[in-house]
Structure 1
Amino acid sequence: MSLDPSATPPPSGTFDTLIDVRWGDLDALNHVNNAIYFRYFEEARVHLYAAIDMDFASGRVGLLAHASCDFLRPLLYPARIVVGLKLLRLGRSSLELDTRIERADEPGEAYARGRNVLVCADGATGRPTPWTEADRRALARCFSV
């Protein structure tokens, strides 16, 4: 991932998304299936894309280049969770996010942590395309403290 040397440091806030754990998210052991954590991160990214107006209509899309997750504590039903995305690096056409999942009623208690790397791409070709100044301003708003 190449970094833009002229870019200012990313804001230090988080972009939070509230999600209700569904009964269907559970596995045979009665806790949230590990694969579902990645869906929760995906849902938060979709909300982020909407907040910065990135969709097929704009001709650009966000492609997931990397996803990782450390499962720290089992999530049980029922629960409302907060999926937090923190901007770590903003490159020419990519960004890196620190991800976390907490229960809404237990702020500060991480149930999962991970990393996502996203690439801004042309929707028709899939080739990387630089973030625009409007994108950078929108990202700054989403991650402001």
Structure 2
Amino acid sequence: MSSSETAPKKRARANQAEAADPASVAPEAGTTSTQPGPLFVAPISVRWRDLDAFNHVNNANYLTYLEEARLHWLQHVPGWFDEQSMPVLAASEINYRRPIEWPAQLLVELACERLGNSSVTLAHRIIDADDRDRLYSDGRVVMVWMNPTTGKPVALPQAIRDAAEAAA
């Protein structure tokens, strides 16, 4: 780096270096990183109506499959919400690896990547139920627990923390 480079340029270069190497970014205070292990696996059947004009599952339906899997998982976690604490989807990332054709039986695997003060990052994979090496998509979502009245983040429910840590 040249000495004539300004401080903002130096910071920008440092931020680019961190973005290129996610392992170099330290987790925020009060967070726990967990080993991605099987948190929940949801079976999903591809429906004829999920197909697009190219005869494969429309990309928007991948989000529906992921939402369905998260809701199935949450149904197994008593105490995941109440009048003061409900999850909202804050971010989603999907890598489309190959098209899903009909008919297909899928498995949506969820794993906990990170527990924060008010959030959980869930990794996900959509795979073929008959050939688990056939990966259709992967990625992650961030769910933040918020007070529905105030719209402000609240502490992650202990039930979610316990379920995620039990799977690690």
The change in CA–CA distance for 1:134 and 1:72 in structure 2 (over 3 A counts) is closer
State the secondary structure of the residue aligned to 2:149. Answer: coil
- Which of residues 104, 107, 120 is equivalent to 1:95? 120
Paired residue for 2:150, among 120, 125, 130?
125
Q: CA deviation at 1:32?
A: 0.2
- Give the structure with higher Rg (CA): 2
Where in structure 2 are there 5+ consecutive unaligned residues? 1-26
1:58-109, Cα deviation, whole Å (9 max, x unpaired):
5421110001111111101111100111111101111112111001001132
Q: Which residue of 2 aligns with 1:139?
A: 164
Root-mean-square deviation (CA, aligned residues, Å) is: 1.9
Kindly indicate whether the alpha-carbon contact (under 8 Å) linking 1:64 and 1:119 is maintained by their aligned counterparts in 2: yes
Report deviation, 1:25: 0.3
Structure 1 unaligned residues grouped into runs of 5+ = none
Task: Give the aligned partner of residue 19 of structure 2.
Answer: none
| 1:91-130 alpha-carbon deviations (Å, 9 max, x no partner) | 1111112111001001132111111011011233332111
**Larger RCO of the pair (alpha carbons < 8 Å, separation 6+):** 1
**Matched residues, percent identical?**
37
Q: How many residues align?
A: 140
Displacement, 1:135?
3.0
* Higher strand proportion (structure 1 or 2): 1
TM-score, normalised to structure 2's length?
0.75
More helix by share: 2
CA distance in 2, matches of 1:88, 1:3: 16
Are 1:33 and 2:58 counterparts? yes
